[in-house]
Amino acid sequence: MTPEQAVVSVETVSAIIDGLEVTVPKGTLIIRAAEQLGIAIPRFCDHPLLAPAGACRQCLVDVEINGRAFPKPQASCTMPVENNMVVKTQNTSPVAAKAQEGIMEFLLINHPLDCPVCDKGGECPLQNQAMSAGRSETRFEGEKRTFEKPINISSQVLLDRERCVLCARCTRFSEEIAGDPFITLNERGALQQVGIYENQPFESYYSGNTVQICPVGALTGASYRFRARPFDLVSVNSACEHCASGCDLRTDIRRGKTLRRLAGDDPAVNQEWNCDKGRWAFKYLTTRERVKSPLVRGSDGELHEASWPEALAAAAAGLKGKRVGVLTGGRLTHEDAYGYSKFARVALGTNDIDFRARPHSDEERDFLAAVVTDLKTSYLDIDKADHVVLLSFEPEEESPIVFLRVYRQVRKRGLLVTSDAPIASRGSQKLNATLVKSALDISGLTSQSVILVGERAAEVEGALSAALELAQSSGAKLAWIPRRAGERGALAAGALGNLLPGNRPVADSAARVDLQSAWGVNSLPTTPGRSTAEILSALNDESLDAVVIGGVDPMDISVDALNQLLNTFVVSLEISHSAVTAIADVVLPVAAVIEKSGSYLDWRGSARRFDKGLEDAELRSDVRILSMLADEMGAPINLPTVSATAREIESLGSWDGAKPTMNKRAYVAPAVEEMTLVSWRFLLDLGTLQLGEANLAGTAKEARAHISSATAATLGVTEADLVVISSDLGSIELPVSIREIADNLVWVPRNSAGSQVIPSLGFASGAVKVAKR
């Protein structure tokens, strides 16, 4: 039961179902009350998270109120329980049983005998309930209605119309939950079918959920089609590595290969939903060539395979006694990030560690250490909010489950949403968001309001201070929602220059002494560490000698990042060959998510643990490798396994001494240039973790340059004409979309096909030239 169901009215009603008395809150549907008694009424259209539809009629039961019986069986999924109600299900009423049998016979008349080739076979509610509630033999001798099949309603969802039982779960989900009513029931009678609009494909970020909730095999995923049967699969609980929403997932594995992922069931987080990226983007692991054994650069300048002792010795020789920086990236588990953090402090004797592989600022570092470590805002606060403020944050693109939560309240009770986005994205339109210029223009917040700040706030000086000011002055709840899954965990693990594990400030000697005694070391570095950008420039001017890099794509940081690594000793811990492994001196292979255990901290700071999916995987987690490397360097960190690391984190606890205070900066509105580029990432784009999944990429939004009609008139372009956006470094060329946006702004997606902003232009936002092509 979700918390909000718990606070619904306490008024209860009692009824008798199959001779058993049940007392439920007023408004409970008969089918739910029966579930509480352990009585299963067959159903297709009913879904606890969707509005009742009464579409399939499979759940017919006999109902009697105050001694008067309904003349015909009633649908138990649409009728609430009332006092003095007597319900007889198929178990006690022959009439209800016969009615259900009849409905099943009708449903099967036009249902093809596809079970042997249908993906749903073996886990199909229609198959199961036809056995339990249907007739044993068919009486139908005519021709079944057929349709052309299957049809692609998007590149990743296939529709077999003749299998559909018209339960409308998919259309109701798309409209009620996702807010993308791109599919609907067309035609009438026997020809009724699910269809898409002529000009609008089913390009919803949540379309995979319709495949999961389809009670027959009418909607199937293109990537899983014909791949396996349910009995082939081994299911493991897993956590999603794609964003900080924190979804519970189920991963299905056949013979050491991930075949599909499904949304898990966590009422406090993702309910029963997830986004298409979390569901379908898992082939990145098999697409790029994996690093399988350690590599060491030889005297000939080439990388050669090496044994573990050789590689660890080479890495230790290059790091020991040197001035070293550590870049971890935002995709690590909490335990792995802790490994890097302890390795930097104990083995390398430095605080030069930073998890932020993206545009960042010193203000953000202060904000993370002083404010974010204490935040306790949760999904429940969004459910109860009177006003949600989005600052430098596009929930649908950057944390899709947060979007679903906000959208649910917008739809249910018209929740007020305000955003500081420069342009109304589709997500903002669905949320009916009011756009303002900055946090300074927002007023009227109460202690019930929620302010959600995204990672892009670091790109505008003073934006985080303004957000904090807004929260403090109004008492509103604040949350910081990064895009990547590992950032909140890395923060808790102290993978940041001014913070030690467990929120201990580097500058606080009491906190250092506390950690020293816990770790059993004599001293810890006292100088606050450098940021990612400072580490890179220090490597470049040789005030640092070497660097240890986790899963970082240098292009996410800046266009120069890779060049800055060229003349330095690089130790890379990677899963696949990448731009960093190509220039590294020692490459140490590590396990990917499915091959290791661990946990991710979501934006709330709550952990979701997951176990190793592939039992016979040979590679080890980053923390294990770092522990071996530290041993080799003679400064052990004693973290032999992930579970030992988790125990150490647990026993270390969180710092309860004095917190650093946030040194607030004044908000500096971005300089008004003739033309300024603004951007954020789409959920589905050219991200590394989406490689190799063409069906998913097929539903990514098309990259377009959004400009105002006045700008378009000045440039002399109309909709879909090409424009060239250029900086000193390079240019990108995109078709135009004329939208409501300030005249001096141009918005483009940050990392989509044809629009990779940082590699092409050298920055994520700033002054550009726009011209007609």
Partner 1 sequence: MADEAKSFSQQLLGFWVTFATMFKKVNTVQYPEVKEPTAERFHGRHQLNRYDDGLEKCIGCELCAWACPADAIYVEGADNTEEQRFSPGERFGQVYQINYLRCIFCGLCIEACPTRALTMTNEYELADDDRAKLIFEKEDLLAPLRQGMIAPPHPMYPDSSHLNYYKGEITGSDPSQEPGGSK
List Cβ<8 Å contacts ≥24 apart for 341-345: 341/490, 341/493, 341/494, 341/495, 341/500, 341/501, 342/501, 342/519, 342/626, 342/637, 342/639, 343/548, 343/626, 343/629, 343/630, 343/637, 344/495, 344/529, 344/548, 345/500, 345/524, 345/525
Gap between the Cα atoms of 520 and 529, Å rounded = 22
Site string for partner 1, 373-402 (x = CB under 8 A): ------------------------------
The first and second tokens of residue 526, run together, are 């006292």
For residue 225, the minimal CB distance to partner 1 (Å) is 7
Among 1, 231, 413, 666, binds partner 1 (CB under 8 A): 231
For residue 692, the minimal CB distance to partner 1 (Å) is 17
- The partner residues of 574 in beta bridges, in order of sequence, read 589
Gap between the Cα atoms of 12 and 382, Å rounded = 27
Q: Which of 307, 215, 345 is nearest to 626 (CA)?
A: 345
**Residue ranges in 110-182 assigned as alpha helix (H):** 125-133, 169-172
Gap between the Cα atoms of 453 and 361, Å rounded = 15
Among 117, 131, 694, 729, binds partner 1 (CB under 8 A): 117
Residue type, 387: H
- Contacts with partner 1 in 148-207 (CB under 8 A)? 150
Nearer to partner 1, 158 or 593 (CB): 158
For residue 317, the minimal CB distance to partner 1 (Å) is 45
For residue 126, the minimal CB distance to partner 1 (Å) is 17
Nearer to partner 1, 115 or 675 (CB): 115
How many residues touch partner 1 (CB under 8 A)? 12
Residue 292, C-beta contacts closer than 8 angstroms, at least 6 positions apart: 589, 619
**Residue ranges in 51-203 assigned as alpha helix (H):** 94-109, 125-133, 169-172
Gap between the Cα atoms of 274 and 261, Å rounded = 10
Residue 405, C-beta contacts closer than 8 angstroms, at least 6 positions apart: 379, 382, 383
Nearer to partner 1, 62 or 119 (CB): 119
Phi, psi of 304 (to 5 degrees): -125, 145
State the burial class of residue 656 (Cβ atoms within 10 Å of its Cβ: 0-12, 13-18, 19+): exposed
Q: Which of 475, 419, 480, 469 is nearest to 449 (CA)?
A: 475
Among 226, 414, 517, 616, binds partner 1 (CB under 8 A): 226
Stretch that binds partner 1, among 228-236, 594-602, 648-656, 738-746 (CB under 8 A): 228-236
Nearer to partner 1, 255 or 773 (CB): 255
- Contacts with partner 1 in 126-155 (CB under 8 A)? 150
Residues in the chain: 773
Nearer to partner 1, 116 or 634 (CB): 116
- The partner residues of 434 in beta bridges, in order of sequence, read 418
Nearer to partner 1, 227 or 320 (CB): 227
Q: Looking up tokens 């944390």, which residue turns up? A: 399
CA angle 120, 121, 125 (to 5 degrees): 70
Residue type, 80: P
Phi, psi of 497 (to 5 degrees): -65, -30
For residue 575, the minimal CB distance to partner 1 (Å) is 26
Stretch that binds partner 1, among 113-121, 535-543, 693-701, 765-773 (CB under 8 A): 113-121
For residue 668, the minimal CB distance to partner 1 (Å) is 56
Among 23, 138, 232, 374, binds partner 1 (CB under 8 A): 232
Q: Spell out a b/e string for 417-430, using b for 16 or more CB atoms within 10 Å of the CB, else e.
A: bbbbbbbbbebbeb
Gap between the Cα atoms of 403 and 204, Å rounded = 13
Nearer to partner 1, 144 or 412 (CB): 144
Q: Omega of the bond prior to 589 within 30 degrees of 0, cis?
A: no
For residue 612, the minimal CB distance to partner 1 (Å) is 24
Nearer to partner 1, 116 or 414 (CB): 116
For residue 276, the minimal CB distance to partner 1 (Å) is 21
For residue 148, the minimal CB distance to partner 1 (Å) is 11
Gap between the Cα atoms of 536 and 530, Å rounded = 9
For residue 259, the minimal CB distance to partner 1 (Å) is 10
For residue 208, the minimal CB distance to partner 1 (Å) is 19
Residue type, 708: S
Nearer to partner 1, 145 or 412 (CB): 145
Among 67, 116, 414, 716, binds partner 1 (CB under 8 A): 116
Helix (H, G, I), strand (E, B) or coil at 610: strand
For residue 130, the minimal CB distance to partner 1 (Å) is 16
For residue 127, the minimal CB distance to partner 1 (Å) is 13
Gap between the Cα atoms of 623 and 639, Å rounded = 7
For residue 226, the minimal CB distance to partner 1 (Å) is 4
Residue 288, C-beta contacts closer than 8 angstroms, at least 6 positions apart: 576, 577, 578, 691, 692
Among 109, 228, 562, 691, binds partner 1 (CB under 8 A): 228
Gap between the Cα atoms of 347 and 76, Å rounded = 65
Residue type, 309: P
For residue 278, the minimal CB distance to partner 1 (Å) is 25
For residue 203, the minimal CB distance to partner 1 (Å) is 23
Among 72, 98, 225, 772, binds partner 1 (CB under 8 A): 225
Nearer to partner 1, 35 or 114 (CB): 114
Stretch that binds partner 1, among 71-79, 229-237, 487-495, 764-772 (CB under 8 A): 229-237
**What kind and span of H or E run contains 5?**
helix 3-6
Stretch that binds partner 1, among 14-22, 221-229, 368-376, 470-478 (CB under 8 A): 221-229
- Contacts with partner 1 in 246-305 (CB under 8 A)? none
Structural contact between residues 42 and 127, judged by C-beta atoms closer than 8 angstroms: no
Angle at which helices 362-370 and 463-474 cross, to 10°: 30
Nearer to partner 1, 259 or 579 (CB): 259
- Contacts with partner 1 in 585-604 (CB under 8 A)? none
Structural contact between residues 57 and 48, judged by C-beta atoms closer than 8 angstroms: no
For residue 116, the minimal CB distance to partner 1 (Å) is 4
- Contacts with partner 1 in 423-482 (CB under 8 A)? none
For residue 159, the minimal CB distance to partner 1 (Å) is 14
Site string for partner 1, 71-110 (x = CB under 8 A): ----------------------------------------
Nearer to partner 1, 124 or 389 (CB): 124
Dihedral Cα 330, 336, 340, 341, nearest 10 deg: 90
Nearer to partner 1, 122 or 692 (CB): 122
Nearer to partner 1, 228 or 562 (CB): 228
Among 52, 122, 528, 670, binds partner 1 (CB under 8 A): 122
Stretch that binds partner 1, among 225-233, 277-285, 638-646, 756-764 (CB under 8 A): 225-233
Nearer to partner 1, 26 or 254 (CB): 254
Helix (H, G, I), strand (E, B) or coil at 270: coil
By the rule CB under 8 A, 229 interacts with partner 1: yes
Gap between the Cα atoms of 10 and 477, Å rounded = 28
Among 121, 670, 692, 759, binds partner 1 (CB under 8 A): 121
Nearer to partner 1, 117 or 582 (CB): 117
The separation between CA 176 and the C-alpha centre of its own chain, rounded to angstroms, equals 20
Q: Which of 572, 569, 580 is nearest to 549 (CA)?
A: 572
Query: Which positions touch partner 1 (CB under 8 A)?
Result: 116-117, 121-122, 150, 225-229, 231-232
